[in-house]
Amino acid sequence: MKFGYYPGCSLLGSSREYNESIQAIAPRLGWILADIPDWNCCGASAAHNLNHALSLSLPARVLALAEKEGLTEIMVPCAACFNRLTMAYHELSADKALRQQINTIIELDYQAKAHPINFIDVLERSLTADILKDIVPFKHKVACYYGCLMVRPARVLEPERGEDPMGLDRIMAKLGATPIDWAFKVECCGAGLSISRTETVAKLSNRILDDAVSRGAEAIIVACPMCHTNLDMRRKEIERLARRRYGLPVIYITQAIGLALGIEPKKLGLQRHFVPVTFPSADESVEKKVKSESTTSEVPTTASRE
C-alpha cells in the first residue's frame, strides 16, 4: 500500500516519537510512505481563527503538491493536520470558484484529486490476520482517547460514532488489550492552549486522567500530538492542580502496535516521554526495556528528548 505521507510540524519536532513509531511499523504493515516535496505547515491551530483564505491556502498547497506527484491518498497521522486538510478538501472540492481563488494564491493547480485519508481506518485495515497471529499480546486495560479533532465537525469528518468512536478501541482489542468504557474519550484536553493557558489545560486534562484512572486504565492511547503533549508533558501542572500523582502513561497507537509487533521500545521513541512508560501489572516489562534503553531513569527533561 502506497500513500502520500504528510507528517506535519509536530511529528518532526515536539512529537518526533510518533513519527519514529510510524516509520518503525510501516514495513511490517506493508506501507510505502511517499514524502510530499516541499510541504508546509497546514496552519493548525491558529490560521482558521485569523483568515479564512489562509486557512485554506496552507493545506491546499500541501494537497496540490501531493497531487502534482501523482499521489491521491494522503496519510495524515496528526489529528489537527488531518482536520485542517480534510476541511480544505471538503470546501475546495465542493466550490470550484473558491478553488480557483485559492489556486491563484498558492500558484498551483489543485484539482481536488488528492485527499487525506483517516489514519485510524488505515491502521485498522492494515492489521490483518497474518500480522496479528505473531503478536505479543498487549495485556493491559487502556483508555482510548480520541479528543476533539478526529471526530469534529461531524458533518465533514463523518465519524462512525461521533460521541463514542470505536476505531482505536477495536485496534487495541485486536492487540490483546482491554479497552475500558469511559466518559471522556472525545472531551477536550485544552488543545492549543498548552502554552498560553496552561492552567486551563491542566483543569481539562485532569478530568480526563481522573476518569481513566478511576475506571482502572493502565495507559491512555492517543493518535494526536496535541493530546499527547497536554496529557504527558503537562503532567506536572496537572498533578499540582489535582494534588495527586498519576502514574498513567500516554502512548501513541502506533507505539502500542509496535510493542505488540515486538519492535524495540527505543525504535518507537518510548524513552522520549515525560511520563515513564510503565504498567502496574507489567510482566516482562516494557518498563525494564525502556529504562535500559534510556539515558536516565528519571522523568525525561526536554534535553533528553533530543
Question: 161-175, 178-192, 229-243, 275-289 — which is least confidently predicted?
Answer: 275-289
Q: What share of the chain is helix, strand, coil (3-state, %, to 5)?
A: 50, 10, 40
* pLDDT at residue 49 tops 80: no
Q: pLDDT tens, 22-36?
A: 999 999 999 999 999
For residue 241, give its domain range: 129-305
Q: What is the pLDDT of residue 36?
A: 98
Q: What is the pLDDT of residue 289?
A: 54
- Note whether 92 and 231 are same-domain residues: no
* pLDDT at residue 301 tops 90: no
Domains in the chain: how many in total?
2
Q: What is the pLDDT of residue 273?
A: 97
Q: Cell digits for 88? A: 480544505
Please state the rounded mean pLDDT for residues 46-59.
Answer: 88
Question: 45-49, 172-176, 186-190 — which is least confidently predicted?
Answer: 45-49
Query: Which of 170, 181, 176 shows the shortest CA–CA distance to 120?
Result: 170
Query: Which of 26, 8, 5, 67 shows the shortest CA–CA distance to 257?
Result: 26
Amino acid in the structure at residue 60: A
- Note whether 145 and 56 are same-domain residues: no
Q: What is the pLDDT of residue 280?
A: 61
Q: What is the pLDDT of residue 291?
A: 57
CATH of the domain at 180: 3.40.50.11810
Classify residue 137: in a domain, yes or no: yes
CA atoms lying within 13 Å on the CB side of residue 91? 17
Contact 287, 271 (CB under 8 A): no
CATH of the domain at 84: 1.20.1050.140
The model's pTM: 0.91
Phi/psi of residue 2, nearest 5 degrees:
-110, 130
Pairing mode of beta strands 219-222, 2-5 = unpaired
Q: What is the pLDDT of residue 248?
A: 96
- Note whether 296 and 147 are same-domain residues: yes
Q: What is the pLDDT of residue 42?
A: 96
- Note whether 191 and 107 are same-domain residues: no
Q: What is the pLDDT of residue 303?
A: 34
- Note whether 133 and 41 are same-domain residues: no
- Note whether 99 and 208 are same-domain residues: no
- Residue spans of beta strands (DSSP E) within the chain: 2-5, 32-35, 73-75, 115-117, 141-144, 178-179, 219-222, 250-252
Q: pLDDT tens, 135-162?
A: 999 999 999 999 999 999 989 998 888 8
Q: pLDDT tens, 113-132?
A: 999 999 999 999 999 999 99
- Note whether 152 and 295 are same-domain residues: yes
Q: Cell digits for 272? A: 522520549
* pLDDT at residue 45 tops 80: no
- Note whether 148 and 288 are same-domain residues: yes
Q: pLDDT tens, 227-249?
A: 999 999 999 999 999 999 999 99
Mean pLDDT for the chain overall? 91
- Note whether 230 and 205 are same-domain residues: yes
Interatomic CA distance for residues 122 and 177, integer angstroms: 19
Classify residue 122: in a domain, yes or no: no
